[in-house]
A and B are shown apart, each in its own frame.
Chain A
Amino acid sequence: MMRFRYDEQLSKLNASLIEMGALVERAIANAAKALEERDVKTARRIIAEDETIDEQERDIESACLKLLLHQQPVAGDLRQVSTALKMITDMERIGDHASDISELCVYLAGQTYIKKLEHISSMANATIKMVKESIDSFVKKDLDLAQSVIAYDDVVDDLYSTIKKELIGLVHENVDNGEQAFDLLQIAKYYERIGDHAVNIAEWVIFSITGMHKDKQVL
């Protein structure tokens, strides 16, 4: 009876994590769309929905702590629970960044963009891919996929420095571009951070499979 409940709790934890992943994925995909289509309505909805993600984080957190307290999991199960605890922090941060981007999107809605958003769009797509694959790797327990997510972060970092250079150029051309350039750089930075969080998630997925975190034996 006790074991049955335990297994049930673990699979429920798994399902809630995937659900939170789905929420986060939707948030950043919608944020990218809102930014591109200058859709203030969607942007506001994302900001409102961030509360759901936060709530989900709290729920999972308390579920994890309860599991640790009542069932005292060991080995693989312990890794699963601790991975969940770490992953939700990163996912919650990704949700926050999606909400931050949306806020800037609302702010920028009245202005004409000083440049085409091509690089920011590809950055958005790259990070969406990273987040999706990091959660995929968790769902499928796919070590290779997790490692490829970590490697893909370089693409996002390169895009960030490209955008930075471009924006600096634009400010040089015309100082009036400065204000929007800052906002756009901030958006790029948020995407860069989202990429980092996806890398964190992938690292924790690797830990949950192998017990190694950043090539060090932890458990």
Chain B
Amino acid sequence: MKKRIYAGMLLLAVSGVLIASLANCCVFYSQAARVTRADVRERVGVFGNGPPDAAIAAFPQINPAAGDGLRVSVIAHDGTVTYDNTVRAETLPNHSDRAEVKKALESGAGESKRFSDTLRDETYYYAVKLSDGSVLRAAKTTGSIFSMFAMAVPVVFCVVLVTVAAGNLIAGKLTNRVVEPINNTQADTVITPPYDELAPFVRAIASQRKRTVEQLDDLRRKTDTIDAVMDNMKEGVVIVDGRGIIMSANKSARGIFETDANASMDGKNILELLRDADLLKNMRNALSGQSCEMDMERFGETYRVYFSSVTGIGAIILFLNTTERMRAEKMRREFSANVSHELKTPLTGISGYAEMLVSGMAKESERTAFAGKIKDEAARMIALVDDVMMLSEMDEGRSPRNLDDVDAAAVAREAADALAAARENDVSVEVTGKDIFLKANRAMIYEMFHNLIDNAVKYNKPGGSVKVSVAKDDGRVVISVSDTGIGIPEEALGSVFERFYRVDKSRSRKTGGTGLGLAIVKHIALALGAKIALESRSGEGTTVTVRF
């Protein structure tokens, strides 16, 4: 800006100075020319129509080099110069062709102006006719307009120089004075334009700023949303750049990396936080554009880790906690393996006996016994399938239906009576308690008593007893089933509620249990919100207590 102002000023000043000096020269010159002309006319005009002698006497010989005297000549009618006050007349050529002489001869007076060869000087001529017909001519030489210009040049040059210097200074100051209000204008709030001319700019800036603020807000809202979503995700998400430096990580990821939840992980190399050679390999794959996945263990949890490449940014790493799923999957796998195995055992028996019957290998006397065995094995299978179905139903996690007031004591008696028919080794069952109601599904309570009493009878000594008590303690229904049986060894206590677990495998073949009884009891207790406790001493007996 300063430069432009300076240049403009300079142009204006210099051209001003030049034009002014030019005009001055012209004015001075015309004034000077007028004075010269008047002077010559006055001094020579008096001799008009006078005798030549008087004129010659008035203009004696002068030395032209000495000064600015008037050069005077007398020219005869034919153009011959008869007198000259500066040089000898004979050396001069004929003057009849000079314009002023011609005019004087014609009209009595004449004038003309001529430049010297160099244009430096200018001579004014004035001629009058004398009484004898000759012409008196005077000439006055002065500097021409051009010489005047030439004289003015150094002065003009000096003035221009001063103008340039002063212009530089003033232009700077001027620029500052113009720019200062603009600089001082605060751009943060409402802008008031320092000059009216800037109003359109200010308007444009204001509207642009409004747009920027809106866009920023929009962007912030979006980022906040993304952050909120990311931080509330159960899955860990980490975004890394091409070198493996973390660009962003959510809260869950911070948990996996065991970093202080508030500490930022951004800008750190992922290796610093999770030193795992396999992870690094997979991340490199993802960074080279190949998505992949792996399993990883950390702090006892299992994670499925997905690596996806993001063109232009790096890679996204997603950590999915699969601990629960893996555990459930493992349990399901084991369960189905166990079920298959348990189903296969009776089937093998059935198939074997059936084969003997078909092939006629069985004697007539054995046939009934074989058919009875087939029936028993089939019954075992049905019991097993029933148990498995019940467990699966409860595994679905549906809340128990058909809740009504159930007389637990009555149900206990019912179950004991039902089992009395199948009672083998002379075990007595005694049920105490009366009119104890609780809110539950009747079938479930029955199943629970059935399983508990069945176990108590089966794993009892010959002549032993089973005590079933249904009572109310502190407003809660407490069921306890205790026997005088073989008990459970201490090391097996932790496992008896597991599916298909058997303390003594050889014995259970004989007694024909499914290995699912206590698992079902546990599930029922869980579904009804009851707590189950088991006390046992090997060889002395077992007590199972269920507290609702």
A101 at the interface (CB under 8 A from B): no
- Complexed CA–CA distance, A19 and B280 (Å): 8
Chain B: which residue is nearest A136 at the CB level?
B275
Interface size on A, as a range, is 10 to 19
Q: Which residues of A contact B269 (CB under 8 A)?
A: 11, 14-15, 18
If over half of A's interface residues share one DSSP class (helix, strand or loop), that class is named, otherwise mixed; here it is helix
B150 at the interface (CB under 8 A from A): no
- Complexed CA–CA distance, A18 and B179 (Å): 58
A38 at the interface (CB under 8 A from B): no
A117 at the interface (CB under 8 A from B): no
Chain A: which residue is nearest B274 at the CB level?
A22
Q: Mark B265-301, 1 if CB is under 8 A from A, else 0.
A: 0000101100111101000000000000000000000
In the complex the two chains form, is A19's CB within 8 Å of B277's CB? Answer: yes
Q: Which of B243, B269, B276, B277 has the most CB of A within 10 A?
A: B277
CB distance from A52 to the nearest CB of B (A): 9
- Complexed CA–CA distance, A14 and B271 (Å): 10
CB distance from B241 to the nearest CB of A (A): 13
24 pairs, A vs B, C-beta closer than 8 Å: A11-B269, A15-B243, A15-B244, A15-B269, A15-B271, A18-B269, A18-B271, A18-B272, A18-B275, A19-B271, A19-B277, A19-B280, A21-B275, A22-B275, A22-B276, A23-B277, A25-B275, A25-B277, A26-B276, A26-B277, A26-B278, A135-B275, A136-B275, A139-B275
CB distance from B285 to the nearest CB of A (A): 15
Q: Which of B244, B271, B275 has the most CB of A within 10 A?
A: B275
Tally the A-B contacts, defined by beta carbons under 8 Å: 30
- Complexed CA–CA distance, A14 and B275 (Å): 13
Q: Which residues of A contact B271 (CB under 8 A)?
A: 15, 18-19, 22
Q: Which residues of B contact A22 (CB under 8 A)?
A: 271, 275-277, 280
- Complexed CA–CA distance, A19 and B277 (Å): 7
* Other A-B pairs, 5, CB within 8 Å; known A18-B272, A23-B277: A18-B275, A22-B275, A22-B280, A26-B278, A139-B275
Q: Which residues of A contact B272 (CB under 8 A)?
A: 18, 139-140
Q: Which of A15, A25, A135 has the most CB of B within 10 A?
A: A15
Q: Which residues of A contact B244 (CB under 8 A)?
A: 15
- Complexed CA–CA distance, A139 and B243 (Å): 17
Q: Mark A135-152, 1 if CB is under 8 A from B, else 0.
A: 110011000000000000
CB distance from A201 to the nearest CB of B (A): 13
Q: Mark B380-422, 1 if CB is under 8 A from A, else 0.
A: 0000000000000000000000000000000000000000000
- Complexed CA–CA distance, A136 and B271 (Å): 11
- Complexed CA–CA distance, A21 and B276 (Å): 9
CB distance from A84 to the nearest CB of B (A): 15
CB distance from A198 to the nearest CB of B (A): 14
- Complexed CA–CA distance, A135 and B243 (Å): 21
CB distance from B318 to the nearest CB of A (A): 20
Q: Which residues of B contact A135 (CB under 8 A)?
A: 275
- Complexed CA–CA distance, A21 and B273 (Å): 13
- Complexed CA–CA distance, A139 and B269 (Å): 10
CB distance from B126 to the nearest CB of A (A): 88
Q: Which residues of A contact B280 (CB under 8 A)?
A: 19, 22
CB distance from B379 to the nearest CB of A (A): 43
Q: Mark B224-246, 1 if CB is under 8 A from A, else 0.
A: 00000000000000000001100
Q: Mark B4-48, 1 if CB is under 8 A from A, else 0.
A: 000000000000000000000000000000000000000000000
Q: Which residues of B contact A140 (CB under 8 A)?
A: 272
- Complexed CA–CA distance, A30 and B377 (Å): 48
CB distance from B193 to the nearest CB of A (A): 43
B245-275 interface with A by 8 A CB criterion = 269, 271-272, 275
CB distance from B429 to the nearest CB of A (A): 47
Q: Which residues of A contact B276 (CB under 8 A)?
A: 22, 26
Chain A: which residue is nearest B278 at the CB level?
A26
- Complexed CA–CA distance, A14 and B243 (Å): 13
- Complexed CA–CA distance, A18 and B244 (Å): 12
Q: Mark B46-90, 1 if CB is under 8 A from A, else 0.
A: 000000000000000000000000000000000000000000000
